[in-house]
Chains A and B, each alone.
Chain A
Amino acid sequence: MNSFQRIKSFAAGIFYLLVALALAVVPHGSLDYIYWIISFMMLIYGTRLLWYYFSMARHMVGGKIVLYQAIIVLDVALFTMTIATMEDYIVLIYLLSIYAFSGAIDILRAFEAKKNDSPVWKKKIIIGFIKIGFAILMVVLAIIFRNTDILVYGFAVSLASTAVLKIYDALRETAIVYIQ
């Protein structure tokens, strides 16, 4: 990770922490802004991927994967925008689903890391299962107690944990494999 990436990671961590704090203090008022920010960020990312595909990656062996990524990200971005008008609890379940999905990705990456004899696979698989378990737990608790605030607080906690990881990544020493 170079200096710029560290600064980016640190800034993102602080931003996530602030959003988590805002959610915890004003559970319902902050929600509207969150999915707009998320969908807007995904829209920009998806568009950038699409541009990269058409200008560069379409010539690359296996480059279609970039196109698929772009389509999926754009699709999710647009879908996130459409749920803005729905009930808060649907929005929260959706956001927690995205969180659980990122956990599933962590597990898939853990398997890939294991295949490559990388020692980080255990950490990745634990994080993946914690994310999925946490998202399910929040939904179950909200159903049992019939209280959507639990979902808001759950989402705030998930954001805070992501923020801590990003700040940790920005500050820790990193080892890379580079072939000279």
Chain B
Amino acid sequence: MNSDFHYYATYCAAILAGYSHGEAQDIAYSDQLVDFCTRTLLIKLKAPSSAATTQLQLELMDARTDRIGLQDITRIWSSFHFLPGDLQATPPKRCSKRYKWKYRLICKPNGELLEPTVNLAKDKSLQAVGLAMHVLADTWAHQNFAGTPSLVINNTNQYFFELFEDGDGYREKKISFRHSVSAPDDLENSIYTNSLYTNSEKSIMNLGHGRAGHLPDFSFIRYKYLPAWGNYEEIIKDNPSDYWHAFTQMVYAMKYLRGGIESFETDRYDTEAVEPYREKIEGIIKKRQPDAADDWKALGKELSGSEPEPFDIERYQDEYTNAAENEKDGTFIGRFILAALAQKSMVTNRIYRSGSKLAGYSIDYQTKGFRGLEDFRRLIQNNGGGKQS
């Protein structure tokens, strides 16, 4: 998903869930910050680098693809962008453990980690709410890909067709991919940029949806393709429907986080609150454009009566860097960092408990004491004990 959805659509969803303009803006900012909080940024802010929620292209280029390096990549991408759908999933055919662990990292909406992700933000900061909404929304957009470099899971081939509404059915158009760094996606001719094919299992070119290009990030597009893991069964990806589900589920989840709903259940959507704006929202989602920010922004203004400010990565940096050491956790970025550490710790712990070490090791603080990455000590201090990774 792009900033139009992670920032402006989240703002709209937060307003519909009952948050004020200021609160909704903080939530939307935190949601979008997930796509900017790199190790490079955290080092610049002298913040714990383990809280990184994404990686720059440059960081990925230099990332080691040995076991430790891959665990670091997997922790980041599985925790924040490709939440595993079913950590007990069994591939349809008998396979090696190596394959099975990767297969289990495939992202799906309404998976077993969604409820703990949302609950991590319960009674926590608005930053935690925004971060959880990012993860939730990405489960819809990024489904069927895994947040770990893997050719056998994330590869795609030339079988890619865009589907255009045509009467009662759909008209197919072959999608072409290119690997040009500078060329923008050509929506008119269905020519998109994707990552290069390499036959190396662990190449970062095979991380996430790189091989499918930006297609999962466009709300308007429908397409069909053959996922590498799918045993030659084609998948029809209906982004307008998925983005609608993501939006209505965000409204439902945020209503729960605000205290309006008793418990959070997966596969539930607040279509009632969204109904008066359904036509508008569907119009934005289905509009064939690379960036729907202006449309979402206008809707946001209509909903709250105030215009959401544009995202500015530097807005809260001075507050964090100028804060005394013992006050940093109370700053905007400090609260975001705590939420990021909590999410990463939870996902790593669940993956580890499923028997896989693809995201690294996780130990119980209460029985084993503190071990591992020092950055997580601040999470324990804030939680008064718990799990660490």
Contact = CB atoms under 8 A, between A and B. Distances in A.
B373 interface: no
If over half of B's interface residues share one DSSP class (helix, strand or loop), that class is named, otherwise mixed; here it is: loop
Contacts of A63: 152, 228
Given A56-B96, A177-B195, A61 B54 contact: no
Contact of A60 (B54, B62, B152, B207): B152
Contacts of B213: 179
A61 B155 contact: yes
Interface in A31-47: none
B386 interface: no
B99 interface: yes
A160 to B, nearest CB: 27
A66 interface: yes
A62 interface: yes
Nearest to B186: A117
Contacts of A116: 176-180
Contacts of B191: 117
A1 B157 contact: no
A178 B60 contact: yes
Interface residues of A, number: 27
A69 B200 CA distance: 13
B98 A56 contact: yes
B194 A177 contact: yes
B229 A60 contact: yes
A117 B183 contact: yes
A55 B98 contact: yes
A63 B207 CA distance: 17
A59 interface: yes
Contact of A118 (B61, B62, B180, B231): B180
Interface of B: 35, 54, 57, 60-66, 91, 93, 95-96, 98-99, 102, 151-152, 155, 157, 176-181, 183, 191, 193-196, 199, 201, 204-205, 207-210, 212-214, 226-232
30 contacts: A2-B62, A2-B65, A4-B65, A52-B201, A56-B98, A56-B151, A56-B152, A57-B151, A59-B93, A59-B95, A59-B99, A60-B151, A60-B152, A60-B228, A60-B229, A61-B226, A61-B227, A61-B232, A63-B152, A63-B228, A116-B179, A116-B180, A117-B178, A117-B180, A174-B61, A176-B196, A177-B179, A177-B193, A178-B57, A179-B195
